[in-house]
Structure 1
Amino acid sequence: MHFFDTILPLALVALSTTNAAPVLQAAAGSQPIPNSYIVVMKANTTDEKFESHRSWVSSKMSAEAGVNNVGVKNDFNFDDRFKAYSGIFDEDVLKQISDDDMVDYIEPDLPVKAHKIIIQKNAPSWGLGRISSKKAGSKDFIYDEGAGEGITAYVVDTGIDVKHPDFGGRAIWGTNTVDSLDEDCGNHGTHVAGTIAGTKYGVAKKAKLVAVKVLGCGGQGSITGILMGINWAVKHAREHGGIRKSVMNLSLGSSHSPAFNAAIKAVVDAGFFVAVSAGNDNIDASKSSPASEPVVCTIGATDFNDKIASFSNFGSAVDLFAPGVDIVSTFPNGANEALSGTSMASPHVAGLAAYLMSRENISGGYLCERMQRLAWDSVNGAPMGTTRKLIFNGGRNGEVLPPKKSKKPKVPKRKKVATVPADCPSLPRGSYPAAPSS
């Protein structure tokens, strides 16, 4: 299996006429998916006009006699905040689409990668102890016994091994937009899910998990596939417990994409908390999506000494840092494994969001700010213009701190504090999956 470490940033160039919607093209070096496009509608487009436009496009494509697998493939409507569709179109139809006054812009569909770099066996677990302590080196994880109960975390990734014993029956399969294999053959999503809500390895130990598979066995997918996945998650959350009791994690990214950013902004505006990994290319996170979208909570990675990880992206787009080096968590088939990457940092924050959402009754739109106010200014080695804030769950000297004064809803009565060891056992002897090449 091979996870690409670098995808060149997307330079966007308008190719259309003055009155037409711009068709954005990837600059040389990027790798858009051939003939596949995402068409984004203007904000004032009604459902009726959207449907009429799609029907018109379909009628245009029906003229392509004998051509299979072309035309509109998927449509997206996030609470009327973001309307778009994707499909395969030839140049003539694309030009006619761009001439429609309802179209805002068109962009090529892009590859998306999981943000993961290395595997190291037999590494100690330290992330949980770190996020509940003032200083590095603590071996205890201090947390409120509520532990995210009543909150659902949507893991937009390679899937989840929902039968892993560390999930205690709290994980379910949601949807699959990338292939026909409803399992985590990529391993990445199961590890992420364990850090969010595993019984042993998780931050929010009582939260529920939903697998939203958008990346295949090699950790690769498309923006279209991800839009399909998050569209499903929004609808599912609305039907099961509510968006304001839900968090989402995306430990993945692509070159900069306006459509990707606009879609994920619509998800946050609808009430979701969304944590995303900053990326592992040691570059400014503003060059990738969805990390560059201002309303998401973008997470960089630190090591054991609170130093920014050598691979972590940085810059003003990063909101918080979390442990991301040699993080032990769940792995398919009942195993555990140590991985490094901003993919491992982001689920610490998604788990903390679920934990705080449950304990303090905070809605998704306020959670990133709440965590920034709780965080320690302890990250060292970050470039100028990058935050130094390392997440903290509020545990100090065996106590869970009350929230600072804010415009958030009233905080419920604090529950008893529980303390558990954060150390994870060494991996048992045996055979384990090989590390992906870097």
Structure 2
Amino acid sequence: MKTVYCFLTVLAPFVLAKAPLVNRGVSDGIADNYIVVMKKADSKTLQAHYRQIHTTSQRINDGNQGVVRTYQVQDFNGYHIECDNATLESIRNNPGVDYVAQDGRVTAQSAIPTNVPRSGPTANTWGLGRISHRDAGIPVYVDENNAPTFAYMLDTGIRVTHQEFGGRAIWGQNFITGSQNIDDNGHGTHTAATVGGNTVGVDNSTKLIAVKVLDQNSSGAWSGMIAGIQWAVNDAQSQGRITRSVINMSIGGPKFQPLNDCVKSAVDAGMTVVAAACNYGVDACTYSPASAPEAITVAAVDISDTRPNWSNYGACVNIFGPGDNIYSAWKDSDTSYQVLSGTSMASPHVAGLVTYLFSREFISGQTEVNNRLIQLGTENKVQNPNGSPNLIAFNGNKDEL
């Protein structure tokens, strides 16, 4: 089976128009760090470019790292480089380079923490009830049991020993330099348990895989997110489970084309990708990964089916999920819980529903999954959708059909 790597390259320079440089000078930019996206080329050409750029950047010896990491996800080829302006210009003049984007910061999309820690799985999990009933206000969750599936959680990590996971959560990969394989923020544990916790999860049979791309402050970089996607796709392919796997990204930042392109390649490889719409009360099309056409982008509703004013909206949204005052597992101990709000909380409700549909209905592929979510979704209940599809995620509870 084809593996997914992430890497880049260099070609003989011709006098051609420079590759565009985008995202430079934005407030969240990381100085001297760039994502270089390559045009389609064979692996020999790409490897030649990689060697050339690596040698050049090392020779300059100006304190920059040079090529930090290479990427290949299906047809997406590129690399992350830390370099000076002269090296950057030589890269842009290479005819094999499609475009270059300055790297930047990305954050978890958990907003308005309610700060209500609890000691056990006894609180109101209204979001689970919402996605298994047509009407709001019914707290009982109705589900069915079914076949193994996998959720790759690109987040702050997971407290894998928490009682909600029952041994189904494992560590996959850590892309935060110098950090331990722990969730030192809590966001990742919370979202993972919403996907697949024993008592607070949508699908309590799925296996959860921690891919740490955010630090203790729930902050990361686009370069790390792309690396996380690449790792997840490679791992799912190598294990022969990509059609039964989902990536959840309760993460966002201003629209970043390299990430959107990488999401497209991950979906082309067979992965399903779910993303938070983000929490700025604006058009989701201005944020990534929310704006990636291939992602299933999730906006939030509260317990009365109203879109909170902090939830993004618009044509890039695919569906709504419960996102206000969501009770789920927390990092502090194996029995700790917390209530949080945000599209970060809405996205894992849908990611869990995706694995649920994989295992119960044996569907696969982003298009088939998205079509099924639309077919099942509860229509015309959202108050103030503001141009978004008026559709709330629903799990197909037969008593409600």
TM-score (norm 1): 0.84
Deviations 1:391-415 (A, max 9, x none): 1101142x7x6xxxxxxxxxxxxxx
Counterpart check, 1:47 vs 2:43: yes
**Whole-angstrom CA distance in 2 between matches of 1:99 and 1:289:** 27
Equivalent residue number for residue 74 of structure 1? 69
Match of 1:344 in 2: 345
Aligned pair partner of 1:92 in 81, 86, 91:
86
Q: Runs (4+) of structure 1 moved beyond 6 Å?
A: none
Give the whole-Å Cα distance in 2 for the aligned partners of 1:172 and 1:110. Answer: 28
Native 8 Å contact 1:275 1:298 kept in 2: yes
Q: How does 1:310-325 map to 2 (within 5 A)?
A: 310-325=309-324
Asked if 1:328 corresponds to 2:324, the answer is: no
Amino acid at match of 1:139: P
Q: Alpha carbon RMSD of aligned pairs, Å?
A: 1.5
Which amino acid in 2 is paired with 1:163? Answer: T
Q: Deviations over 1:261-283 (max 9, x none)?
A: 00111111111111100000000
Percent identity for Structure 1 against Structure 2:
39
Equivalent-residue separation in structure 2 for 1:182 and 1:198 (angstroms): 20
> What is the TM-score normalised by the length of structure 2?
0.91
Q: What are the residue-to-residue correspondences of 1:176-215 with 2, within 5 Å?
A: 176-179=174-177, 180-215=179-214
Unaligned runs of 5+ residues in structure 2 are 1-14
**1:16-27 alignment to 2 at 5 Å?**
19-26=17-24
Which residue is equivalent to 1:104?
A: 98
Q: In the alignment, residue 197 of structure 1 is paired with which amino acid?
A: G
Distance in 1 separating the partners of 2:392 and 2:327: 19
Contact preservation (8 Å) 2:35, 2:103: yes
Equivalent-residue separation in structure 2 for 1:138 and 1:25 (angstroms): 45
Deviations 1:373-405 (A, max 9, x none): 1001134333542111001101142x7x6xxxx
Whether contact under 8 Å (2:321, 2:392) holds in the other structure is yes
Within a 5 Å distance, the mapping from 1:273-422 to structure 2 comes to 273-332=272-331, 333-334=333-334, 335-365=336-366, 366-397=368-399
Is the 1:249–1:350 Cα contact (8 Å) retained in structure 2? yes
Question: Contact between 2:264 and 2:292, CA under 8 Å: does it hold in 1?
Answer: yes
Q: What SS does structure 1 have at the residue aligned with 2:60?
A: coil
TM-fit CA distance, 1:130: 0.8
Instruction: Give the whole-Å Cα distance in 1 for the aligned partners of 2:195 and 2:239.
Output: 19
Which of residues 33, 42, 50 in structure 2 aligns to 1:36? 33
- Alpha-carbon distance, 1:61 to partner: 1.4
Aligned to 1:409: none
Tell me, in whole angstroms, the C-alpha distance in 1 between the residues paired with 2:85 and 2:303: 52
Q: How many residues are matched? A: 377
Contact 1:198 1:205 in 2 (8 A): yes
What's the offset of the Cα at 1:47? Answer: 1.1
Show CA shifts across 1:174-216 (max 9, x none).
1110132110001000000001001101111100000000000
CA contact (8 A) 1:302 1:379 kept: no
2:53 to 54, 57, 67: 57
